[in-house]
Structure 1
């Protein structure tokens, strides 16, 4: 799908989830052929002409102002991530395929300095760029032995059957990854690597294709996941995402166990059980 198509599909999906009553508009009982707000209703709420909004949704409006983008976002009740995604879609980065993703030596040393804390560096398209021994022990996946195109968090979650048992809420983790990938795609619409990955995932996984159609977007920030591991059973880990100030396409993701919680000895068992395993990996 082209850049204009991405914008139109996103805006139509957000109109579809709002009813006139939600936006304070009167409904007179007429039969509606489409779900949610019509284009003319959205234009009324945003304070623009219907013709202008139609051109905006179709990607044909030139030099759209910040005030119009903000008015449309407010009318659609977009959250912060959705607003940012809309801005990316309206004003795409013209850069095409980016150089190979490289992890700085200092960041690799940082990973190596945390032998008891699962951590990895995630790049564009949710590619796994580097990881430490604790992360490999937690995932139970030989990342170093995978082809580079499969060393990707979204690909692993949908296409590696071992991931089915790794997360207690597999569906919730799947929704997060798809939303994060789409948010990332908005930043790099001109990079064909995203199109290739999405096409391969949709062809391989009907579940991915279904979730991709939802047009959800989300930043990866912090939270927690409940995981299962054969060496330690079921336990909950928190994660924090730290984006690099000089390269926002890369993020350090660290998983921790709350002190005194059941997860603390569980994580220790996982790491100790794999202490003699493979060395840290990277591209």
Structure 2
């Protein structure tokens, strides 16, 4: 990923989404050739010269100070994740090497044991580039049988953009897809030299028009919490809360869990889903724990 190009396009996209009135300016022109703030308007509000900001927006951010970045981020109304991304794009010397970014991802045995013990909670672990590197059986019952998937498909972005079943599962597919693209953008800023991430982005760009459209927006999104509305083929509609937790010892991994409000219809539906999954497991259609562990390692070997 070319850092100068990314910096230029990111700043332009953030500037384009603001109107003069959004930042307390009165627009005295009847028509603007391009949407958003002008460079000189942003520079004035940030307290820098137009020439200085223009150079920055052209991708020359090597010597920009933290104070200037903070001022520009304030004017552009950047989120915390966007501010982090901007900082990484202007400080390429701090980025992780391609070898470090591509190292094998493994969860601690204790974390896998925790996943397996969460029998009533669908859960999985995401690693770098949104790879699905660990999960529990209830997670596969809710989101898909990760054990049975080819290693290269055990990736949340791959699932959402290239598996047609995802459009049936996520009722707000557009919102889910937009969030994932924002997360990949954030990962790309952290690890611009990761060859596996570049390969994934290339595959999604070639095979998915929706991915190309959303990637061009330069959305930045960190993993968080909220509500997901799902339509499951077995139990129907579900309204679930999801939480993202960061296990100690590896900042590249996040544990994602789903739960329903106690006493709600979705809680009953989850109970029915757990019963169905147990029946399927007894029939031998759900993978065993040993298969799951080897599958996660197989995914890394295939990437």
Same fold by TM-score greater than 0.5? yes
Report which stretch shifted further, 8-17 or 222-231: 222-231
Return the TM-score normalized by structure 1: 0.94
The residue matched to 1:60 in structure 2 has which SS? Answer: coil
1:148 and 1:260 map into 2 onto residues whose CA distance is 37
Given candidates 113, 116, 122, the residue that maps to 2:117 is: 113
What's the offset of the Cα at 1:31? 4.4
Structure 1: tracts of 5 or more residues without a match? none
Are the equivalent residues in 1 in contact too, given 2:245–2:255 (CA < 8 A)? Answer: yes
Residue matched to 2:14: 14
Q: Name whichever structure is richer in helix by fraction.
A: 2
Residues 34-183 of structure 1 correspond to what in structure 2 (within 5 A)? 34-92=34-92, 93-97=95-99, 98=101, 99-139=103-143, 141-183=144-186
**34 and 102 in structure 1: CA distance in 2 versus 1, 3 angstrom threshold:** same
The residue matched to 2:253 in structure 1 has which SS? Answer: strand
Residues 225-240 of structure 1 correspond to what in structure 2 (within 5 A)? 225-240=228-243
Structure 2: tracts of 5 or more residues without a match? 297-303
Are the equivalent residues in 1 in contact too, given 2:158–2:204 (CA < 8 A)? Answer: yes
1:220-262 per-residue CA deviation (whole Å, 9 max, x = no partner) reads 1111111112221111111110012321110011111111111
Report which stretch shifted further, 23-32 or 262-271: 23-32
The alignment yields a C-alpha RMSD, in angstroms, of 1.6
1:72 and 1:270 map into 2 onto residues whose CA distance is 49
The residue matched to 1:237 in structure 2 has which SS? Answer: strand
The residue matched to 1:190 in structure 2 has which SS? Answer: coil
Return the TM-score normalized by structure 2: 0.88
